[in-house]
Amino acid sequence: MASPKTKQPCCSFCGKLKSEVKVLFKGEANAYICDECLILGYQSMVGQNSHSIKIHSSALTQEPQKFELHAPKDIKKYLDQYVIGQDQAKKIISVAVYNHYKRTQVIPNQSDKQDIQIDKSNILLIGDTGTGKTFLAQSISKYLNVPFAIVDATVFTEAGYVGEDIESMLTRLLQNCNYNVAEAEKGIIYIDEIDKISRKSANPSITRDVSGEGVQQSLLKLLEGSDCLVPPEGGRKHPEQKLIKINTRNILFICGGAFDGLDKIIGKRLNTNSIGFKGKEIQETSKENIIQFVATNDLKHFGLIPELIGRIPVLTHLNALEKTDLMNILTKPKNALIKQYQYLMLLEDIELVVMPEVIELIAIKALELKIGARGLRSICEKIFTDFMYELPKSNTKKVVVDLDYAHDKLSHFNLAKVI
């Protein structure tokens, strides 16, 4: 409203004139509020519900951090320091991530850009358990310094049923970047066990498949890019709850799964089970790593709906790990397993030396377990636990683990019964 004496706008709350305050905001029906009253109102709200106000104020005001775009070769070079093998997968992921962030960071700032819309390049990783699918996604997010969240597809159900809503994965991304919406909208979400939400049969379900096909249908708009209302603290939505709006257009989704049984579908398509000399030759060459021949039609037969497959255009596979790969995983990466044990002992002023024959033995035993790199730690624990229990705070300065010691420790565990 305006002051009757000066006809100058004044604050509707405290009555101060425009000349007496720094800023005077105008609302509807000639209502005004000054910056001092805004601050007092904010402070009173913080006193009543500090947690809620902190969430929403930070979500609305924070700016995204400065982002540095790395070339695909640089991304792959970084991944080589942590991930052994999987060169083709690392190359495909590096190009897809580079193009995605070039689409979100460079193209919008070009003043002379053409009227061309670049689609999202969501990624699907297919490979046996323990081949490094999750670790690849984690390593990329760490290198790019962007928010990252890992979610398990098995906990999601269609909205309205027992389980988590699809939007809860965005809540985890928000929490990982301190509720900075602008930062979260440039993040990466890794959806693990995507194969577990496959359709139960190749035909459309007659009854509702709320944890399989229903979740796939709910994912469509999320993967493609849409505005989503997200509960700031997770859980179910309800009318009284304040929600945060997030646009998923620039969020990169990386999906991963073992797809157990997909090799049989691919083999049937390639006719690897045919009878005769020619069929035997095809079978021998294909079944070494038959997953490399995967096609989108195979995923459709596995149980993914065509609409979901179309929204994950980048498809790559991870090769099964061999003995040499497992030995390199134990020793070569920056955070190699043997280096971790050596560092733990170094903290006790003890030098740990592991003979090459022991590393080969661990790799052979891990192959017998058939769970990839995940089997390495369990075997190492069986070998190293005793001296890690006995030696701390002792006078020992050096420990050498040889083949006889490793065989002795593993002889107490029948790995054949573990398989």
CATH label of the domain that carries residue 328: 1.10.8.60
Report d(CA 242, CA 395) in Å as an integer. 60
pLDDT at 132 over 70: yes
Report d(CA 373, CA 67) in Å as an integer. 32
Count of residues for the chain? 419
Query: In the 8-state DSSP scheme, what is residue 122?
Result: -
Query: In the 8-state DSSP scheme, what is residue 194?
Result: G
Q: Which pLDDT band, with edges at 50, 70 and 90, does 260 fall under? A: confident
Mean pLDDT of the chain: 80
Q: Which pLDDT band, with edges at 50, 70 and 90, does 52 fall under? A: very low
Report d(CA 124, CA 96) in Å as an integer. 11
Type of residue found at 384: F
- Helix (H/G/I), strand (E/B), else coil: 244: strand
- Residue 144 inside a domain? The answer is yes
Do residue 285 and residue 139 come from a single domain? Answer: yes
Type of residue found at 102: K
| Beta-strand pair 123-126/252-257 | parallel
pLDDT reported for residue 240: 60
* CB of 204 closer than 8 Å to CB of 307: no
Burial of 303 (0-12, 13-18, 19+ CB in 10 A): buried
Do residue 43 and residue 131 come from a single domain? Answer: no
Query: In the 8-state DSSP scheme, what is residue 255?
Result: E
Tell which of 292, 317, 342 closes a domain: 317
Q: Tell me the HSE value of 28 on the side-chain side, using a 13 A CA sphere.
A: 0
Range ranked top by mean pLDDT from 62-76, 140-154, 210-224, 297-311: 297-311
Q: How far is CA 241 from CA 57, 168, 238, in A?
A: 16, 14, 6
* CB of 389 closer than 8 Å to CB of 345: no
Q: Which pLDDT band, with edges at 50, 70 and 90, does 183 fall under? A: confident
- Identify the residue with better confidence: 27 or 400: 400
pLDDT reported for residue 131: 85
Q: Please list the residues that pair with 271 across neighbouring strands.
A: none
Nearest to 357 by CA among 410, 397, 320, 398: 410
Q: Which pLDDT band, with edges at 50, 70 and 90, does 163 fall under? A: low
- Residue 57 inside a domain? The answer is no
Could you list the residue range(s) of the whole structural domain that residue 216 is in?
A: 72-108+118-317
Segment 208-216 mean pLDDT:
74
Burial of 212 (0-12, 13-18, 19+ CB in 10 A): buried
Do residue 27 and residue 166 come from a single domain? Answer: no
The answer, as to whether pTM is greater than 0.75, is: no
Q: Residue 125 belongs to a domain with what CATH number?
A: 3.40.50.300
- Residue 61 inside a domain? The answer is no
Q: Please list the residues that pair with 10 across neighbouring strands.
A: 17
Do residue 41 and residue 185 come from a single domain? Answer: no
* CB of 120 closer than 8 Å to CB of 97: no
- b/e burial code for range 218-243 (CB count within 10 A of at least 16 → b): bbeebbbeeebebbbebeeeeeeeee
Do residue 43 and residue 191 come from a single domain? Answer: no
pLDDT reported for residue 413: 60
Residue written as tokens 């400065």? 66
**DSSP string for residues in 21-51:** SS-EEE-GGG-EEEHHHHHHHHHHHHHH-HH
Give all strands (DSSP E) within 10-126, no chain letters: 24-26, 32-34, 123-126
Query: In the 8-state DSSP scheme, what is residue 164?
Result: B
* CB of 35 closer than 8 Å to CB of 21: yes
* CB of 183 closer than 8 Å to CB of 64: yes
- Identify the residue with better confidence: 304 or 240: 304
Report d(CA 375, CA 419) in Å as an integer. 11
Q: Please list the residues that pair with 317 across neighbouring strands.
A: 126
Least confident of 95-104, 119-128, 285-294, 350-359: 285-294
Nearest to 391 by CA among 355, 354, 350, 353: 350
- Report the percentage of the chain scoring pLDDT > 90: 20
Do residue 338 and residue 308 come from a single domain? Answer: no
Do residue 293 and residue 394 come from a single domain? Answer: no
Tell which of 294, 317, 340 closes a domain: 317
pLDDT digits 0-9 by tens, 360-403: 999 999 888 888 888 899 899 999 998 889 888 888 889 999 99
- Report the percentage of the chain scoring pLDDT > 70: 78
Least confident of 27-36, 78-87, 304-313, 385-394: 27-36
Q: Which pLDDT band, with edges at 50, 70 and 90, does 1 fall under? A: low
- Residues whose CB falls within 8 Å of the CB of residue 214, separated by 6 or more in sequence, listed in order: 157, 158, 161, 208
Do residue 41 and residue 158 come from a single domain? Answer: no
- Residue 37 inside a domain? The answer is yes
pLDDT digits 0-9 by tens, 261-282: 888 888 888 875 544 544 454 4
CA 269 to chain centre: 31
Judged by phi (left if over 0) then psi (alpha if -120 to 50, else beta), residue 68 lies in beta
